[in-house]
């Protein structure tokens, strides 16, 4: 008798399947919402607040893309993924894009057939240790027990680092950041390793953040960025240029505060005009509204604003811009020109 729920659901699934065959950009427009894969919860990058509203740096990227494509920053379905499920979710089309501090590596790009559209955070793997342990360098960790998230590049980097330095360690595989935090605080592992930004975010949620230090070694390059499926270049371009729009906006001084004013009429700076759609046809080339970039920037501010609001030095996470400063200020954040 309950078969019918099943068939009803199948019928619904079949209906939604009909529309899913076209390109991702058309799918998203037809659906009216963007399915964006994020972490299951990493404060500052992507975490639901007490009301279930997602917030964070990666979430900001999702909202910007939704605003650019659909004109509505809230038209996003956030789909929490673990290290294990994220790639399958993207490959199978369950999510349209993945913004989940995922490291750009050769094999993920080439072998797993994904397309990294850019880098929104230059990170590296670090170690978090209690001050009381008296460790000042990761090379002092001989024989230590190390908590590490499974299914991530950090797990492989960790093995390489200890092997290269010829010191021994004992890995404790954990599934989510919350479990890592639990075990680290209980003392079940001496040190917790993941991306330095993630460590800072985790430490910020501790009761006494001052009792823990980040060891000076950064043992890997972890360029984190949003990614989409291989082979759908229109959609890849949309996400790539939305990210670039946020970066360019910071470079040109376009903020969520002055954007209304700048977009109202063409300004003296032709690049701002092209970016905000008051001149040129960049939006139409992407198949979007002329004001797509303006919507994206308005959603949460430009790159710098997103950074400061979610993970910057005035937040509990307190990350300095460092490598993630604008190229004009000695950092690596750089966008190709809007021309």
Q: Which of residues 226-265 bind other proteins (CB under 8 A)?
A: 229-231
- Among 207, 208, 257, 314, which residue sits at the site for other proteins (rule: CB under 8 A)? 207
> Minimum Å distance from CB 320 to other proteins?
22
The conformation of residue 162, written as its DSSP 8-state character, comes to H
Q: Using alpha carbons, select from 94, 117, 114, 116 the residue that is nearest to residue 230.
A: 114
Residues 6 or more apart whose CB falls under 8 angstroms from that of 173 comprise 148, 149, 150, 155
- Measured between alpha carbons, how far is 60 from 300 in angstroms, rounded to an integer? 6
> Minimum Å distance from CB 50 to other proteins?
8
- Measured between alpha carbons, how far is 108 from 160 in angstroms, rounded to an integer? 18
Number of residues that bind other proteins (CB under 8 A): 90
> Minimum Å distance from CB 271 to other proteins?
37
Q: What x-and-dash track marks residues 54-93 binding other proteins by CB under 8 A?
A: -----------------------xxxxxxxxx-xx--xxx
- Measured between alpha carbons, how far is 142 from 333 in angstroms, rounded to an integer? 36
**Window 40-59: residues binding other proteins (CB under 8 A):** 40-43, 47-48, 50-52
Q: What x-and-dash track marks residues 160-199 binding other proteins by CB under 8 A?
A: x-xx-----xxxxxxxxxxx-xxx-xxxxxx---------
Please identify, using beta-carbon distances, which residue of 92 and 233 lies nearer to other proteins: 92
> Minimum Å distance from CB 100 to other proteins?
12
Please identify, using beta-carbon distances, which residue of 10 and 264 lies nearer to other proteins: 10
User: For residue 212, is it left (φ>0), alpha (ψ between -120 and 50) or beta?
Assistant: beta
Please identify, using beta-carbon distances, which residue of 4 and 258 lies nearer to other proteins: 4
> Minimum Å distance from CB 67 to other proteins?
20
Q: Measure Cα distances from 282 to 107, 238, 260, 330 in Å.
A: 32, 11, 19, 29
- Among 131, 136, 143, 211, which residue sits at the site for other proteins (rule: CB under 8 A)? 143
Contact 38, 80 (CB under 8 A): yes
- Measured between alpha carbons, how far is 18 from 10 in angstroms, rounded to an integer? 12
Please identify, using beta-carbon distances, which residue of 56 and 283 lies nearer to other proteins: 56
**Window 117-136: residues binding other proteins (CB under 8 A):** 132-133
**Window 270-289: residues binding other proteins (CB under 8 A):** none
Question: Applying CB under 8 A, does 2 fall inside the site for other proteins?
Answer: yes
Cβ-in-10-Å burial (0-12, 13-18, 19+) of 290 comes to: middle
Please identify, using beta-carbon distances, which residue of 206 and 334 lies nearer to other proteins: 206
Reduced to 3 states, what is the DSSP secondary structure of residue 173? Answer: strand
């Amino acid at each position: 008798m309950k078969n019918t729920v099943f068939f009803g659901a199948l019928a619904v699934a079949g209906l939604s399947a009909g529309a899913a065959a076209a390109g991702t950009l058309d799918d998203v427009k037809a659906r009216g919402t963007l399915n964006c894969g994020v972490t299951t919860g990493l404060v500052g990058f992507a975490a639901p607040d007490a009301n279930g509203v997602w917030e964070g740096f990666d979430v900001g990227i999702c909202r910007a893309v939704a605003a650019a494509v659909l004109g509505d920053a809230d038209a996003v379905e956030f789909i929490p993924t673990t290290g294990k499920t994220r790639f399958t979710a993207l490959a199978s089309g369950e999510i349209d894009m993945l913004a989940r501090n995922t490291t750009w590596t050769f094999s993920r790009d080439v072998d797993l057939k994904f397309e990294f559209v850019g880098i929104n955070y230059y990170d590296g793997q670090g170690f978090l240790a209690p001050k009381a342990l008296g460790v000042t360098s990761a090379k002092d960790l001989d024989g230590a027990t190390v908590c590490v998230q499974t299914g991530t590049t950090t797990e492989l980097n960790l093995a390489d680092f200890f092997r290269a330095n010829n010191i021994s360690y004992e890995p404790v595989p954990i599934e989510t950041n919350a479990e890592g935090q639990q075990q680290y605080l209980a003392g079940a592992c001496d040190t917790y390793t993941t991306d330095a930004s993630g460590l800072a975010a985790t430490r910020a949620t501790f009761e006494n953040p001052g009792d823990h230090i980040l060891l000076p070694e950064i043992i890997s390059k972890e360029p984190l960025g949003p990614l989409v499926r291989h082979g759908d270049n229109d959609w890849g371009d949309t996400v790539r240029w939305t990210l670039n729009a946020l970066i360019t906006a910071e470079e040109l001084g376009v903020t969520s505060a002055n954007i209304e004013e700048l977009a109202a009429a063409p300004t003296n700076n032709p690049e701002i005009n092209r970016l905000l759609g008051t001149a040129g046809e960049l939006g139409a080339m992407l198949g979007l509204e002329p004001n797509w970039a303006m919507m994206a920037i308005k959603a949460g501010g430009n790159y710098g604003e997103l950074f400061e609001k979610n993970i910057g030095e005035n937040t509990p996470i307190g990350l300095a811009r460092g490598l993630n400063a604008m190229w004009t200020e000695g950092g690596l954040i750089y966008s190709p020109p809007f021309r």
